[in-house]
Amino acid sequence: MDSVIRNVRLIDGTGADPVQRVSVAISNGVVHWIGEETARPRTTVHQEDINGEGLNLIPGMIDCHEHFTGDGGMDSMERLLGDSHDTFTLKAVGNCRRAIMSGVTSARDVGARHAINILVAQQTASGAIMGPRIIASGEWFQFPGTWPPTLTRAMNTTEELVLGIREMIERGAGMIKVGATGFRPNGDQFASLGPAALDAAVRTAHEAGLKIAAHCHGYEGSRQAVEAGIDSVEHGTYLDEETCALMAQRGTYFVPTMSTWDARERLGALYGLTDDQRTDLAARKENSISSFKRALAAGVRIAAGTDAGGSPARHGFIARELELMVDSGMSPATALESATREGAELMGIQDLAGTIEVGKQADMVLIDGDPLSDIGALRNVWAVFQAGRRVR
């Protein structure tokens, strides 16, 4: 159905100043016209008429780091290791709905056992499942000795890694993800793939026209991933100034996922943590914030991502991620852009989404409050539109 949203305050995601009392007309799922209500072209076609007075209209938000097969929570890792194929699938259906109802109309799923996320992405695209537009990596890859082998797919050689990436491509992956760092039992960081394997992984993904992300929780492995030409550094808990400068130079994206430690901190306050867990959490939080500030100062491109389902963070709370970014020094306007235009460019869907402009898909969210003065207003979702269809 065609629709029009009248008299709304428009924050279009392009970086332009907000415009008061604008009307936005939608036709066949696409933004058809933007302007003053008195100048809106009249039509004989029936339109759903929405009075947006007192509301802010923003682009549909984009979460660049989700795992829809996981629910989050304090026992998230145990569930990711122990749930069955059917349980993963059912959880993904519910979590997709939670995400889109929060205003997330596009997302990357950066790793699922059995590559279930590829099927989930196909089903949300077909409309069989309510959820965001998803670009999925399938399984993600590592060398032995980092994450538990049942959580990711462990490859022993560069040749196996390349074959695994090609398998995911054949199965319909829209992106690739690898693990570039790990921790030894004594807590020391190490670069888990190394330059040769990273080079081969990047080359294989790019030759197929796909972007590649790297899980990074260490200084050396993060630097090696950026040098290899990785498209995005995920988590980036330990980034030094040299790596940040290189990321800014090369246009490498940073997806900070600050919700991971924030959710663990809040849940830990409820359920308790051991002394070792508190020490580890405090270090991760401090280094995450420091790395974020270095990246921000260096001019690194930042896209929002929550790690919902892959950590204690839950789906549907992208607003909290943006609050943490603002608390760490980012302006509310830039934080909002990290979850709209920047996210769309990282996903490669900037011609479809990320901003509200004539000719683009009508992915939009009505917010009760001004996110440019209070980023927490993004919690107050009044309506969600995906490709012009109102889903909330």
CB environment 137-165: b (16+ within 10 A), e (fewer): bbbbbbbeebbeeebbbbbeebeebbebb
195, 152, 180: which is closest to 237 by C-alpha? 180
Question: Could you read off the pLDDT of 301-322 as tens digits, one per residue?
Answer: 999 999 999 999 999 999 999 9
**pLDDT for 12:** 98
pLDDT of 256 above 90: yes
Q: What does the pLDDT average to over 77-86?
A: 88
Number of CB atoms found within 10 A of residue 328's CB: 17
Q: By percentage, how much of the chain surpasses pLDDT 70?
A: 100
**pLDDT for 264:** 96
CA distances from 272 to 265, 286, 384 (A): 9, 20, 37
pLDDT of 325 above 80: yes
What architecture is the 2-59+354-390 domain classified under in CATH? Roll (2.30)
d(CA 50, CA 32): 16
d(CA 291, CA 217): 11
**pLDDT for 184:** 81
340, 366, 370: which is closest to 353 by C-alpha? 340
Reported confidence tier of residue 75, pLDDT bands at 50, 70, 90: confident
**pLDDT for 42:** 82
d(CA 197, CA 44): 60
User: Which residue type, as a one-letter code, is found at position 357?
Assistant: E
Instruction: Collect all residues with Cβ–Cβ distance below 8 Å to 184 and sequence separation of at least 6.
Output: 190
pTM: predicted TM-score of the whole model, two decimal places: 0.97
d(CA 384, CA 392): 5
Q: What does the pLDDT average to over 270-277?
A: 92
Q: What does the pLDDT average to over 240-247?
A: 98
d(CA 321, CA 289): 12
Q: What does the pLDDT average to over 106-117?
A: 97
Given this structure, which CATH class describes domain 61-347? alpha beta
264, 260, 350, 352: which is closest to 301 by C-alpha? 350
Question: Could you read off the pLDDT of 24-60 as tens digits, one per residue?
Answer: 999 999 999 999 988 888 877 788 999 999 999 999 9
**pLDDT for 3:** 94
With 0-12 / 13-18 / 19 or more C-beta atoms within 10 angstroms meaning exposed / middle / buried, residue 211 is buried
**What residues form DSSP beta bridges with 234?**
215, 255
Strand-strand pairing, 381-386 and 389-390: antiparallel
Q: Extract the tokens encoding 295.
A: 């990246």
Q: What does the pLDDT average to over 92-108?
A: 98
More confident residue, 162 or 276: 162
> Residue 211 — φ and ψ, nearest 5°?
-85, 160
Query: Do 2-59+354-390 and 61-347 share a fold?
Result: no
**pLDDT for 37:** 87
Provide the total of helices (H) and of strands (E) in the chain, helices listed first.
12, 20
What proportions of the chain, in percent to the nearest 5, are helix, strand and coil?
Answer: 40, 25, 35
Torsion region of 306: left, alpha or beta (phi above 0 gives left; psi -120 to 50 gives alpha): alpha
58, 12, 59: which is closest to 347 by C-alpha? 59
Question: Could you read off the pLDDT of 178-218 as tens digits, one per residue?
Answer: 999 988 877 788 899 999 999 999 999 999 999 999 999 99
d(CA 177, CA 118): 13
**pLDDT for 151:** 83
**pLDDT for 329:** 98
3-state DSSP call for residue 381?
Answer: strand
d(CA 322, CA 328): 10
- Quote the Cα angle for 330-354-327, to 5°: 15
Question: Could you read off the pLDDT of 142-151 as tens digits, one per residue?
Answer: 998 777 777 8
> Where are the chain's structural domains?
2-59+354-390, 61-347
Please, what is the average pLDDT of the chain?
95
With 0-12 / 13-18 / 19 or more C-beta atoms within 10 angstroms meaning exposed / middle / buried, residue 51 is exposed
User: Which residue type, as a one-letter code, is found at position 335?
Assistant: A
> Residue 364 — φ and ψ, nearest 5°?
-150, 155
Q: What does the pLDDT average to over 146-158?
A: 85
Q: What does the pLDDT average to over 130-135?
A: 98
93, 129, 102, 47: which is closest to 384 by C-alpha? 102
Own/partner pairs, 158-161, CB within 8 angstroms, 24+ separation: 158/196, 158/197, 158/200, 161/193, 161/197, 161/200, 161/201
